[in-house]
């Protein structure tokens, strides 16, 4: 164990995210809970967020969207957001299903799917007969006992069970309250089969890295803004990015006392975050 001796810098306050904003080249936004709150009719924009996206887009900063949304294809998802007033194109959105398809093809794997009906079309180009792995997404009501059991039987029947999970979120907020997310069912199958799932989506470092590659900037010049402390902020910080949590969506006050993940900043909502970025970033 190496000991560090006190030095002058210890007496200084830790730099806040505001101090680092000047060097920013790009911003990645989580979507549900940052741009909008989910709901039965597709959801409603969080006040100020439509305008905030517009202002970011008009700035010098690169802008991408990174979501663990697996309840629809990217096309349908973006169409929903466009209807809410957001100016977002499909190519700017990074979601787990297309990333999973790429991995399945690369490794010659044929999935048994336990995913939401609306995301199934993303897997159209993948061979699915005689499955040799399982892919689970946020299947919501499709997470019945029968369906989870069917996925389990595929896994337990394989010599070396391979499970992909599109995210590892615990729960998310809809207008009627908190709902269980895919990570919970990932843990269930991991325990049943004594395996560890491969996570595709946030907080997997490879997932964030692909977004950075697409923006063409190094991680320390990028900022992730999300409502999920562990998956958005924690994942981004693991990659060397800055991570700021908004106090909207699934945010809970206890997040600010989390034992392992501390955000670089906590802000009321996206509009306030963008105000700060554009003011301090000189735009």
Give me the residues that bind a second copy (CB under 8 A), please: 139-146, 148-149, 152-153, 156, 170-171, 177-180, 183-185, 187-192, 194
Of 5 and 145, the one with the shorter C-beta distance to a second copy is: 145
> What separation in angstroms does the CA of 146 have from each of 130, 131, 143, 152, 192?
19, 18, 8, 10, 15
> Nearest to residue 267, comparing CAs of 225, 220, 218?
225
- Contact yes or no for 71/32 (Cβ under 8 A): no
- Closest CB to a second copy among 49 and 248? 248
CB-nearer residue toward a second copy: 190 or 214:
190
Nearer to a second copy, 89 or 146 (CB): 146
| Least gap, CB of 142 to a second copy (angstroms) | 7
Q: What is the β-pairing status of strands 26-29 and 62-66?
A: parallel
- How far apart are CB 34 and a second copy at their closest, in Å? 21
Contact status, residue 244 vs residue 273, Cβ threshold 8 Å: yes
CA distance 17 to 117: 40
Q: How far is the CB of 78 from a second copy (least distance, A)?
A: 26
Q: How far is the CB of 188 from a second copy (least distance, A)?
A: 4
């Amino acid at each position: 164990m190496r000991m560090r001796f006190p030095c002058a810098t210890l007496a200084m306050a830790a730099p806040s995210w505001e101090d680092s904003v000047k060097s920013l080249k790009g911003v990645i936004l989580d979507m549900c809970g940052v741009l909008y709150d989910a709901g039965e009719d597709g959801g409603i924009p969080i006040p100020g967020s439509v305008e905030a996206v517009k202002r970011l887009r008009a700035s010098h900063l690169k802008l991408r969207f990174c979501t663990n949304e697996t309840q629809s294809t990217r096309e349908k998802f973006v169409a929903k957001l466009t209807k809410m007033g957001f100016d977002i194109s499909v190519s700017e959105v990074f979601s787990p299903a297309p990333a999973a398809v790429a991995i399945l093809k690369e490794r010659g794997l044929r999935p048994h799917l336990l995913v939401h009906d609306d995301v199934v079309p993303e897997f159209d180009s993948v061979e699915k007969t005689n499955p040799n792995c399982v892919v689970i997404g946020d299947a919501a009501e499709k997470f019945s006992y029968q369906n989870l059991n069917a996925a389990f039987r595929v896994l337990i029947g394989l010599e070396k069970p391979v499970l992909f999970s599109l995210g590892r979120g615990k729960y998310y907020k809809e207008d009627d309250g908190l709902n269980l997310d895919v990570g919970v069912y990932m843990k269930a199958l991991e325990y049943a089969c004594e395996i560890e799932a491969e996570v595709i989506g946030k907080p997997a470092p490879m997932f964030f890295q692909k977004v950075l590659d697409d923006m063409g900037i190094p991680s320390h010049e990028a900022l992730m803004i999300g409502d999920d402390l562990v998956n958005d902020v924690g994942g981004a910080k693991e990659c060397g990015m800055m991570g700021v949590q908004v106090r909207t969506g699934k945010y809970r006050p206890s997040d600010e006392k989390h034992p392992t993940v501390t955000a670089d900043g906590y802000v009321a909502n996206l509009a306030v975050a963008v105000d700060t970025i554009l003011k301090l970033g000189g735009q």
